DNA sequence: CTGAATCCCCTGCGATACTG
DNA sequence: CAGTATCGCAGGGGATTCAG
């Protein structure tokens, strides 16, 4: 009965390719903005929301969690009375700042047309 | 009547932001691979397909068209008997090679973990 | 050979409301 | 403050087929 087995379905380029590997890190919506914002120093959750107004808390959380588990950002919970959580770039996270900078630089060039 | 006008529906960060601007260029699936492939020199349609096997012709065309209209690649039709089209990076296109390189470099770092 | 046209599924993301 | 839960839609991208 025409049982199509499930065509490969590889929505993304082969994992293992460094290019793809990194794109999966910065590819999500708002991700570059988050990193860009963190680049200047540690930021709390709500501060990030202020830095990037249109992002919803859900997505911000998703990005932060994703980045955390990829070792790009640190999540430090401060046991204060009003809970506060501080996010910062790890060493690895710092590594991709230049990449983002390169992207921003090209962005300028593109805008100029 | 609580008519919330807003609802902006801005699936993407504000256009005008250079970061976003560039991400919209290299953000599509396979786009970085295409640029990466073109980096070494001009390539024809089918050559690109060989370079990036899993990409479908439809998507490849979409990417190429998108990149063309953003002034990143040149499309040169050769009026040969079997039609052949050559794609190459424009000056602007060359500009974003470093960005991709930076991304690839980070990709390596990430893989090493 | 280089695409254009179709179909269709899947995920990502937005919005909103609720909790510790 | 810092998230979590739920819902829903739109669009991106895969497969396949047709055309100049």
Q: Where are the domains of chain B?
A: 21-112
- Indicate whether B5 pLDDT > 70: no
Q: Which helix (H) or strand (E) holds A110?
A: helix A97-111
Using a 7 Å cut-off to protein CB atoms, list the covered nucleotides of chain D: 1-6, 11-17, 20
- Distance in angstroms, CA of A12 to C1' of D12? 12
What is the pTM for the complete model shown?
A: 0.84
Q: How far is A4 from chain B (nearest CA, A)?
A: 19
Please indicate if any CB of chain A lies within 8 Å of the CB of B69.
no
Please indicate if any CB of chain B lies within 8 Å of the CB of A100.
yes
pLDDT in tens, A42-66: 999 999 999 999 999 999 999 999 9
Task: State the DSSP string of B19-65.
Answer: HHHHHHHH-STTHHHHHHHHHTS-EEHHHHHHHSTT--HHHHHHHHH
The CATH class that applies to domain A21-112 reads: mainly alpha
């Amino acid at each position: 009965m025409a049982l199509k087995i499930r065509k490969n379905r590889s929505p993304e380029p082969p994992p293992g390719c460094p290019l793809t590997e990194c794109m999966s890190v910065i590819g999500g919506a708002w991700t570059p903005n988050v990193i860009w914002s963190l680049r200047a120093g540690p930021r709390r959750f709500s501060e990030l929301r202020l830095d990037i107004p249109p992002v919803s808390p859900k997505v911000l959380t998703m990005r932060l969690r994703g980045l955390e588990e990829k070792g790009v950002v640190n999540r430090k919970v401060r046991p204060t009375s009003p809970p506060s959580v501080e996010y910062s770039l790890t060493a690895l996270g710092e590594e991709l700042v230049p990449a983002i900078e390169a992207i921003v630089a090209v962005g300028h060039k593109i805008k100029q047309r």
